[in-house]
Amino acid sequence: MQSGEAAQLAPGGRLRHLITLSGLPPPLLRALFADADRWAGDGGRPLAGRLFVNIFFESSTRTRAAFEAAAKQLGADVVNLDQMTMAGETKRESLEDTVRTVAAMGASGIGLRHSESGAAVRAARAADESGVAVVNGGTGCESHPTQGLTDAYTLREIFGEDFSGLKAAIVGDVLHSRVARSDAQILRAMGAADIRLVGPPDLCPPSLREEFGAPVFADMDEGLCGVNVAILLRVQRERLQNGFCGSPAEYFSAYGMTAARLSCLDSEAVIMHPGPINRGMEIADEVADGAQSRILRQVKNGMAIRKAVLARLCAGQ
């Protein structure tokens, strides 16, 4: 199986698909941010006459809606396939054949969400027979590249282009989180040196230190000490194999972001969360809706990033 890194770059380094942030060169990341700056305003309709198809095997609010709205604002027609309507779910059509079918309809781009790590690479290999571009909208526990781009773009907006002084804590269910992996990959690529993982040992085990190259803290207050940003993660109860390791109230008591806990962070620190948020579990209402929250700014910035990605991948450049 080709790796995501290998599958997404055409000869010469052009981005052919977006599967993972791992291995993407910083100049390309900065170019996508510059594109997003332009697309945050009205930047034209480079996808006029083109077709974008969302193939979502898992539920989504933000990503699917942002892909659809971004594609439409760029001028494309959009079709949404989901687990209720796809033959793949009910008639055992393979992912590859679904991709080939959509490509044969003339699609220029596919947004894919799937529960399996590796699904975006499989889709990209099938898509390479036709020229349609695959944009990973979240696969398994491995990768959510447009969310990672969105989060780094939001931090660039707040703290500037130089990420070297950033102190970032990624908090919660790191083990099952594709967002954690994509965020850590892009923050490292942009130069952030101080990235910490914080969470209960069964959702943020010490073994993650090796995978992420980052220290792991089981104590919330210790892990948050002095950080500029806390990126909170949703506890993915649907992915937990052996039952949740405690009640929501117990989790909130030990790892919930409360107003009292904000005092551990740098005074200028911001709180981020990719959503959907579990209020009263990962985050208190007063923090989610408070002055230091950038949660809705992430959603807004996610539109500009998706437009930047789709314009680059689906306009036939």
Spatial separation of the C-alpha atoms in residues 74 and 45, rounded to whole Å: 4
Query: Shortest Cβ distance from residue 66 to ligand CP (Å)?
Result: 8
Would you say 110 and 136 are in contact if contact means Cβ atoms under 8 Å apart? no
Would you say 38 and 91 are in contact if contact means Cβ atoms under 8 Å apart? no
Tell me the per-residue interface mask from 88 to 127 with ligand CP, x by CB under 6 A, - otherwise: ----------------------------------------
Would you say 245 and 200 are in contact if contact means Cβ atoms under 8 Å apart? yes
Cα-based torsion angle of the residue sequence 182, 188, 190, 196 in order, rounded to the nearest 10 degrees: 90
Determine which residue in the list 88, 109, 111, 275 makes contact with ligand CP, applying CB under 6 A: 275
Query: Shortest Cβ distance from residue 274 to ligand CP (Å)?
Result: 4
Q: Identify the CA nearest to 63 among candidates 173, 179, 183, 156.
A: 179
Query: Shortest Cβ distance from residue 185 to ligand CP (Å)?
Result: 16
Spatial separation of the C-alpha atoms in residues 59 and 69, rounded to whole Å: 17
- Span of 55-63, 71-79, 119-127, 255-263 interacting with ligand CP by CB under 6 A: 55-63
**HEC per residue, 189-256:** HCCCCEEEEECCCCCCCCCHHHHHCCCEECCHHHHHCCCCEEEECCCCHHHCCCCCCCCHHHHHHHHC
Query: Shortest Cβ distance from residue 310 to ligand CP (Å)?
Result: 16
Determine which residue in the list 54, 98, 147, 154 makes contact with ligand CP, applying CB under 6 A: 147
DSSP 272: E
- Span of 57-65, 94-102, 194-202, 307-315 interacting with ligand CP by CB under 6 A: 57-65
Q: Of the two residues 67 and 217, which places its CB atom closer to ligand CP in the complex?
A: 67
**Residue 46 binds to ligand CP (criterion: CB under 6 A):** no
Determine which residue in the list 8, 20, 22, 60 makes contact with ligand CP, applying CB under 6 A: 60
Query: Shortest Cβ distance from residue 119 to ligand CP (Å)?
Result: 15
**Which residues are near ligand CP by CB under 6 A?**
60-63, 138, 147, 274-276
